[in-house]
């Protein structure tokens, strides 16, 4: 469906609840803004994950990047979810250009309207499978802490955080405990 069609449908739809708008003349511009927001929030739709650059290293510890603060729209209400994303990596001869971690997170959040679970998996897969991390790293861990506006402002109206974690490869106990200690330093979203 092209934007023009979408615009017409939305205009019709919002006019059916025109009484709920303080000023009915706002609807036209609101529809334009709504479409702009939805396209912006899915701006990496149909684009492949960012190409990763790997650098040789002898480092054998854990590299942790975060919090990467970003947002996406939940698929059930199209309301924002604010997230802090943490990625931990244990190299196996190679390390990753760190800005690519951020780019991968941004890409995963804006690919389409998805659940936090899906986005967590998407980041892990993009770094491990598609990005070739499985041949260059011992393991990775991706953790997302999300604040879901759809839970906070409507329905149950509860202010809480949702945490999702994905792991690939092997992360030993020592590295895992460093990651957990690091995570505990940061506030909730």
Q: Which chain residues interact with Zn ion by CB under 5 A?
A: 74, 76-77, 150
Shortest spacing between CB 110 and Zn ion, in angstroms? 16
Q: What is the largest CA-CA distance in the chain?
A: 66
Tokens of 77: 């209400």
Beta-carbon contacts of 162 under 8 Å, excluding residues fewer than 6 positions away, are 116, 145, 146, 147, 148
- Nearest residue to the partner Zn ion, using Cβ: 150
CB of 109 vs Zn ion, minimal distance in Å: 15
Nearer to Zn ion, 41 or 74 (CB): 74
Residues 6 or more apart in contact with residue 91 via CB below 8 angstroms: 57, 59, 60, 63, 136, 137, 138
Q: How far is the CB of 149 from Zn ion (least distance, A)?
A: 8
Q: 99, 101, 93, 69: which is closest to 82 by C-alpha? A: 69
The residue among 47 and 160 lying less far from Zn ion, judged by its C-beta, is 160
Min separation Cβ 80 and Zn ion, Å: 9
């Amino acid at each position: 469906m092209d934007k023009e069609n979408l615009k017409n449908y939305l205009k019709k739809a919002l006019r059916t609840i025109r009484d709920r708008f303080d000023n009915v003349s706002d609807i036209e511009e609101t529809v334009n803004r709504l479409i702009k927001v939805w396209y912006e929030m899915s701006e990496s739709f149909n684009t492949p994950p960012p190409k990763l650059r790997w650098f040789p290293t002898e480092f054998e510890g854990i590299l942790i990047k975060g919090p990467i603060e970003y947002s996406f729209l939940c698929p059930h209400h199209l309301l924002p979810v604010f997230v802090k994303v943490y990625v931990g990596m244990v190299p196996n001869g190679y390390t990753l250009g760190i800005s690519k971690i951020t780019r991968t997170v941004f890409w995963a959040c804006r690919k389409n309207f998805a659940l936090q679970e899906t986005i967590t998996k998407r980041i892990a897969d993009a770094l491990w499978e598609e990005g070739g991390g499985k041949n260059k790293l011992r393991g990775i861990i991706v953790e997302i802490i999300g604040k879901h506006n759809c839970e906070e402002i409507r329905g149950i109206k509860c202010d809480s955080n949702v945490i999702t974690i994905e792991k690939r490869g092997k992360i030993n106990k020592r590295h895992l405990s460093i990651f957990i200690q690091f995570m505990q330093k940061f506030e909730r979203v």
